Amino acid sequence: MQRIGVFVCHCGTNIAGTVDVAAVSEALKNEPGVVYSTNYQYMCSQAGQDIIKNAIAEHGLTGIVVCSCSPRMHEATFRKTAAAAGLNSYMVEIANIREQCSWVHKDMKTGTEKAIILGKAAVAKVNLNAPLTPGESPVTKRALVIGGGIAGIQTALDIADAGFPVDIVETKPTIGGKMAQLDKTFPTLDCAACILTPKMVDVAQNDKIRIFSYSEVTDVKGFVGNFDVTIKRRARYVKEDVCTGCGACTEKCPQKKIPNEFNLGMDNRRAIYIPFAQAVPKVATIDLDHCNMLKNGKCGVCAKVCAAGAIDYNAKDEYIEEKYGAIVAATGFNPISMDKFDEFAYSQSKDVITSLEFERLTNAAGPTGGKLLRPSDGEHPRTIVFVQCVGSRCDSCAQKGKEYCSKICCMYTAKHAMLTRDKYPDTDVYVFYIDVRTPGKNFDEFYRRAVEEYGVHYIKGMVGKVSPEGGKLMVQASDLIDNKQLRIEADLVVLAAAIEPDRSARPLATMLTASMDTNDFFTEAHPKLRPVESPTAGVFLSGTCQGPKDIPETVAQAGAAASKVIGLLAKDKLMGNPCVAHSDENMCNGCSTCENVCPYGAITYEEKEFRMPDRTTRIRRVARVNEAVCQGCGCCTVACMSGAMNLKGFKNEQILAEVDAICR
Amino acid sequence: MADNKKLKEDVLAISGVNVRKCMKCGKCSGTCPSYGEMEYHPHQFVSMVESGDIEKLMQSESIYKCLSCMACVERCPRGVEPGKLVEAIRLISIRRKDANRLTPDRISELLDEDMPQQALVTAFRKYTK
Amino acid sequence: MKVSYYPGCTLRNKAKELDRCARECAQILGFELCEIENWQCCGGAYTSSTDEIATKLSSVRALKAAGELDRPLITVCSACHNVIKRTNLAMKEEEFAGKVNAYMAQDADFTTPYGGETEVYHYLEFLRDKIGFDSVKEKVKNPLTGRKIAAYYGCLLLRPSKAMAFDDPENPTVLEDFIRALGAEPVIYPARNECCGGYVVLEDKDSAKRKSATVSESAKGHGADSIVTACPLCRYNLMKSGSELPVVYFTELLAEALGAKEAENG
């Protein structure tokens, strides 16, 4: 029989405001096994923990129940308290009477009644608890960063700086991401390439960092400290270690009319190409879909002009397997499609563009050499209308767009408007806004400069329709301050398209068993206190894959993710979770159901010899759990039809005892 | 005041519109083809219903200027449907005693020989109870 | 293939061509428009208010009649289509349908309640989804080669798109694909989904005129030589606004291309 102590926390008024804590500790005194019960203002405080320690010593407690906040908050705290008093950590149970009780009830009577029931359930469970000891597992001291934009680059550099090897996997032929496509960066207006490309070079030259470009992660197995990852290296038909990046092939390739992704299709590239001058790795890639040689064996020009002999038409996709201790998701974002917003005539006029396209139109390496010219006729636009919040802040019942604020658009639009007025003072610039959101260091000052110094017309209102008429764009919009409907004859309309997570994020989250929100942004372990960690141990989040962010925030988060990775890789061994599955081999019938449902590959089968009552022996196939790999999710215990599989610390009889206590 | 409160409840109930969803972007008024003819514009219908200013809207010619073209409903990013508010207010207005906008004795002066029946029946549905 | 057909009152009077051509072309294209018995006027406008029951009964009766024959219901006039399709969607809501069925239960021939089961197609939708524009193209005898035709959707076919589910409300393609199938070139212009002024013409001719003029000028400005519509009121408003371009019904265009008119004349 256990000797159980019960400790009820007031949590100030958080619990005591809705739950009669004295009544709870009094009621639980009568539960089987309980020898001591008390309540205190803040159980998690030093004084509160001392009450627990003293009670363990004085009353010879073998198990304790703390009725307090969620175990996600303080289970670890109270386990340490128990251990300090010589009690096994796993003899501690938390009854969550805050989040699941006092916070959701308004009535003291109901709250108290429920708190008592939750306490009874925890007592019933502790009665069946047994001490558990966690195992240890080694840590592979190498990190994987998935995504090679500014987030992935910064994370990789910081991890490498601490001395740990890092691999970057990037789907594009080069690292650099969206930032490489930007012209200037707010609020300081330094050139994006000038601050990004040195970092890209640092990555290339760092002997701790390997870049797998034109590659993707196809499989992830294992667990924190011990991930086994399969990386598909797509054939680029150019030997990366031989190509010198001279670019001769990209000038001679006869396939000239392929839309250039880097310039968002506003100019063309060849079938063999280097995305941009500062690409890393600076090697050519052949686009399988457009190369005549690869499609029908007719061409071979690039091989002829390549002095280095780097072209390899017979290259195949390769799969490599690597081990990592930590994985960082840095998969980034894309602007949403404008398909569902054709009232702005994006599909009907070349002169209606997105803000990212505007970046390329003003960039010296862009399709116009940095001159702001209309895509339709190459003329200089005299009137430009910027439309904010296109597809952001939409209600779900509108069935289009995103519900969230994309966060970066107010600032980049102010930047576009300001730079246009600076370079082309003869241009009229209008910005239609719903709210101007500029909370950031020097951000609002920046927006005010656009208005006050550069004379950008900010109009509170929204564009209803853009009509291409006679080579112009008729913009019909509201001006809510003047209570007018405006018609502006514009030459160029720029849409601040909402941003969304990259499509690769969802399948990656599935592989990592990392959770996502309804918008496909990765979920953090705690929205305030653990913002760069996924709830899945060993998986970390960097940049816009976690939520919309500008560059300064992305870099800050990238560094934070790196420091978490470094903290993990600095350990030689990790304490495992002792609450793992265990199979009772006498009951196991070898059916393989558990093996099939296990998401971690933790269950294998072995042939084992059993002695029968009649002294004969029989060989049976039984399940064996690899405790280092098992994450204690419990799938197998539910699936097991013979009842052989049980989760330590959460055995079927323990769960049923809780249910019985609740129903009593 | 009490009357206005009841009116607001009626408008919300029969239109099925949730005016609290509005984020005051003004896209409805940027879209409306009858904006120039209206005293109160689509976004004002939403905010005036929210503040309970229904009587003013009922007395305004604006409720007969709406074409029911549903462009505001289609383009609203918040799914607010201002056009349905206009319709509800017009209905409440014409349902009052002797408040029909159109009476049969006026038909002959409004018709011409090419006008399709559709115009007539639609107008009757919109303007009379 | 037999389908139920709801012509509506305008097609019986001012828009007889719209109706006649629709029937003739259907025969050529291999389906038969079977007019439902004793149909009543749809009312011309759908009233979105949730407490409007009686004004929707005529549409529900038409839908029910088609449903009892287990046939889809086809309409041609944009207004009828808008009213009937939106009514049908409303009938899928239990509370609303309950009220309507309670009314209908007083009809002498009432048998079973109606719950929005009938499939409703606009004639154009039926061509696109059930006949296929490729099949239409095969039957074309007199391709309208060289003609530049502006498709005018107006509001009723497209909006509200959640209920109409007809086409992309801002960038529709069905009429353009139809025009292409007939051998002509569609002209895409931004006012094609703007309102013609509608019923407001009855009391404010100037307002309707301004709206319609915007449409016909936009079509002309983009190089069209004619405008095609499915709606008698759109056609009326465009003509009265002094459109320089002829405005024809889509079924007239279809009849011309399929040679239905010749068949009748000769």
Please indicate, yes or no, whether residues A441 and A547 belong to a single structural domain of this protein.
no
Q: Does the pLDDT value for residue B107 go beyond 90?
A: no
Q: Does the pLDDT value for residue C262 go beyond 80?
A: no
Angle at CA of residue C25, ends C24 and C30, nearest 5°: 105
Please indicate, yes or no, whether residues A433 and A380 belong to a single structural domain of this protein.
yes
Q: φ, ψ for residue C98 (rounded to 5)?
A: -60, -45
The CA distance from A376 to the nearest CA of chain B, in Å, is 25
Fold annotation for C139-265: Rossmann fold (3.40.50)
A66 lies in a domain? Answer: yes
Are B65 and C8 a contacting pair at CB < 8 A? no
pTM: 0.90
Subunits touching A (CB < 8 Å, at least 3 pairs)?
B, C
The reply to whether C117 touches chain A by the CB within 8 Å rule is no
Interface test with B, best of A344, A480, A488 (most B CBs within 10 A): A480
A454 lies in a domain? Answer: yes
- When pLDDT is averaged across residues A355-370 and rounded to a whole number, the result is 96
Per CATH, C2-123 and C139-265 having the same topology is answered no
What secondary structure letter does DSSP report for A467?
E
Interface test with C, best of B108, B118, B120 (most C CBs within 10 A): B118
Please indicate, yes or no, whether residues A413 and A438 belong to a single structural domain of this protein.
yes
- Domain termination residue (choose one: A455, A470, A500): A500
| Mean pLDDT, rounded, of chain A | 96
pLDDT of A612: 86
Query: Residues A58, A7: contact at Cβ < 8 Å?
Result: no
Q: What is the CATH number of the domain that holds A533?
A: 3.50.50.60
Q: How many C-beta atoms lie closer than 10 Å to residue C185's C-beta?
A: 16
Q: Which residue of C has its CA nearest to B65?
A: C200
| From C162, C190, C221, residue closest to A345, measured CB to CB | C190
- DSSP string for A544-564: GGSS---HHHHHHHHHHHHHH
A653 lies in a domain? Answer: no
Instruction: Find the helix packing angle between A71-84 and A46-59, rounded to 10°.
Output: 50
Confidence of residue B72 (pLDDT cuts 50, 70, 90): very high
A137 lies in a domain? Answer: no
> ω before B82 within 30° of 0 (cis)?
no
The CA distance from B74 to the nearest CA of chain C, in Å, is 6
* % of chain B beyond a pLDDT of 70: 98
Tokens linked to A167: 């691999």
Are C41 and B83 a contacting pair at CB < 8 A? no
Kindly state the helix (H) or strand (E) to which residue A3 belongs, with its residue range.
none
What ipTM was estimated for this complex? 0.95
Are A434 and B31 a contacting pair at CB < 8 A? no
Kindly state the helix (H) or strand (E) to which residue A193 belongs, with its residue range.
helix A192-205
pLDDT tens, position by position, C69-109 = 999 999 999 999 999 999 999 999 999 999 999 999 988 88
Residues in chain B closer than 8 A to C231 (CB atoms): 118
Q: φ, ψ for residue C4 (rounded to 5)?
A: -80, 145
Please indicate, yes or no, whether residues A610 and A473 belong to a single structural domain of this protein.
no
Tokens linked to A472: 């112009």
Across the B:C interface, residue pairs with CB atoms under 8 Å apart total 133
SS3 label, residue C132:
coil
Are A469 and C221 a contacting pair at CB < 8 A? yes
A660 lies in a domain? Answer: no
Q: Which residue of C has its CA nearest to B38?
A: C207
Beta partners for residue C150, in sequence order: C187, C227
Q: Which residue of A has its CA nearest to C190?
A: A467
Domain boundaries, chain C: 2-123, 139-265
Please indicate, yes or no, whether residues A103 and A46 belong to a single structural domain of this protein.
yes
pLDDT of B8: 96
The CA distance from C246 to the nearest CA of chain B, in Å, is 15
Confidence of residue B2 (pLDDT cuts 50, 70, 90): low
The CA distance from C229 to the nearest CA of chain A, in Å, is 20
pLDDT of C125: 97
What secondary structure letter does DSSP report for A178?
G
Q: Does the pLDDT value for residue B1 go beyond 70?
A: no
Tokens linked to C55: 């004004």
Q: How many C-beta atoms lie closer than 10 Å to residue B99's C-beta?
A: 12
Name the strands in the sheet holding C2-6, side by side, starting at the edge strand that comes first in the sequence. C32-35, C2-6, C73-75, C120-122
- The length of chain A, given as a count of residues: 664
pLDDT tens, position by position, A412-454 = 999 999 999 999 999 999 999 999 999 999 999 999 999 999 9
Query: Residues A581, A601: contact at Cβ < 8 Å?
Result: no
Interface test with A, best of C164, C171, C176, C211 (most A CBs within 10 A): C171
Q: Give the rounded distance of the alpha carbon of C73 from its chain centre.
A: 12
Residue with tokens 């840590």: A139
Rounded CA-CA distance A298/A269 in Å is 19
Q: Does the pLDDT value for residue A518 go beyond 70?
A: yes
Q: How many domains does chain A have?
A: 5
Please indicate, yes or no, whether residues A510 and A496 belong to a single structural domain of this protein.
no
Q: Which residue, among A511, A513, A538, A601, has the nearest Cα to A137 in the 3D structure? A: A538
Please indicate, yes or no, whether residues A342 and A405 belong to a single structural domain of this protein.
yes
A192 lies in a domain? Answer: yes
Q: What is the CATH number of the domain that holds A610?
A: 3.30.70.3270
pLDDT tens, position by position, C37-59 = 989 999 899 999 989 998 999 99
Across the A:C interface, residue pairs with CB atoms under 8 Å apart total 23
Are C170 and A343 a contacting pair at CB < 8 A? yes
Residues in chain B closer than 8 A to C43 (CB atoms): 121-122, 125
Confidence of residue C144 (pLDDT cuts 50, 70, 90): very high
Rounded CA-CA distance A451/A458 in Å is 7
Residues in chain A closer than 8 A to C188 (CB atoms): 348
The CA distance from B19 to the nearest CA of chain A, in Å, is 12
Q: Which residue of B has its CA nearest to C197?
A: B67
Please indicate, yes or no, whether residues A325 and A340 belong to a single structural domain of this protein.
no
A241 lies in a domain? Answer: no
Please indicate, yes or no, whether residues A366 and A451 belong to a single structural domain of this protein.
yes
- DSSP string for A92-118: EEEEE-IIIIITT---HHHHHHHHHHH
Query: Residues B78, B50: contact at Cβ < 8 Å?
Result: no
pLDDT of C266: 39
The tally of CA atoms less than 13 A away on the side-chain side of residue A82 is: 26
CATH of C2-123, one of 1.10.1740.10, 1.10.3720.10, 1.20.1050.140, 1.10.150.120: 1.20.1050.140
CATH numbers and ranges of domains, chain B: 2-96 (1.10.1060.10), 102-129 (no CATH)
Q: Give long-range contacts, CB 8 A cutoff, 24+ apart: C105-108.
A: C107/C61
pLDDT of C264: 52
Give the structural domain span for A268: 248-305
Residue with tokens 């109930």: B13
Are C190 and A474 a contacting pair at CB < 8 A? yes
Please indicate, yes or no, whether residues A343 and A467 belong to a single structural domain of this protein.
yes
Kindly state the helix (H) or strand (E) to which residue C81 belongs, with its residue range.
helix C78-90
Rounded CA-CA distance C205/B65 in Å is 12
Residue with tokens 């175990």: A71
